Amino acid sequence: MPDTPPDAGPFSHLEESHLRELAPHGALRAFPKNTVVLNEGDETSSLYVILSGRVKVYMTGEDGRELVVATLKAGEYFGELVIDGGPRAASIATLEPSRFFILPHTDVEGLMSGNPAFAQELILKLIGKVRALNAKVRDLALKDVYGRFVGFLETNAEDQNGERVVTEALTQSEIAARIGGSREMVSRIVRDLTAGAYIAVESKRIRILKKLPAHW
């Protein structure tokens, strides 16, 4: 499953000034890195457009373990459950310093009713997110941790100087949260793949050196 949703979105091409025209009651807010912006279960009252930075969408179990559902970047948004007014379905935290334009419920309702193109695009994005969540559930149900780890590498690696590299610097705990596994299991997989010269880890970035084995 892709770790990030499709890039295009109803706000990806808009400047802050245009957003203010669309949502006259909107507000600009900035948050430092590693700040919880919203908590799962919070009241839904606003839609957040990411102007800069990146965030993670995650859920936390009763044991405190975290599952990252997605990561979002500039031009994308979160808080779309504002449409039905239900509680937040997941928590949001910044992965780096981030700025948001926040549209209150009344402005979102006005855009939905008065701008059919916006409403259609928002619905299509919601459908895309549902498909991504379905794929995540399928991976969790049908793949073991190793299979999900390999899928994570294949999805997030980029071509760089003739190699495939996961350019985002991630700890083993952060990778475990992305794939729904334990840090200990991820550590064992990384150790074994490194020993077999399948991957190399440098400054928390993973380089894929050769085709990964189908099974571990």
99-123: per-residue pLDDT in tens?
999 999 888 888 888 888 888 888 8
Enumerate the CATH 2.60.120.10 domain ranges in the chain, comma separated: 16-141
Assign a CATH topology to domain 143-208. Answer: Arc Repressor Mutant, subunit A (1.10.10)
- Rounded to two decimals, the pTM is 0.76
Count of beta carbons in the 10 Å neighbourhood of residue 183: 15
Range in 77-91, 148-162, 170-184, 186-200 the model is least confident about: 77-91
Enumerate the CATH 1.10.10.10 domain ranges in the chain, comma separated: 143-208
Range in 6-10, 90-94, 133-137, 177-181 the model is least confident about: 6-10
pLDDT of residue 121: 80
Domain 16-141 has CATH 2.60.120.10: yes
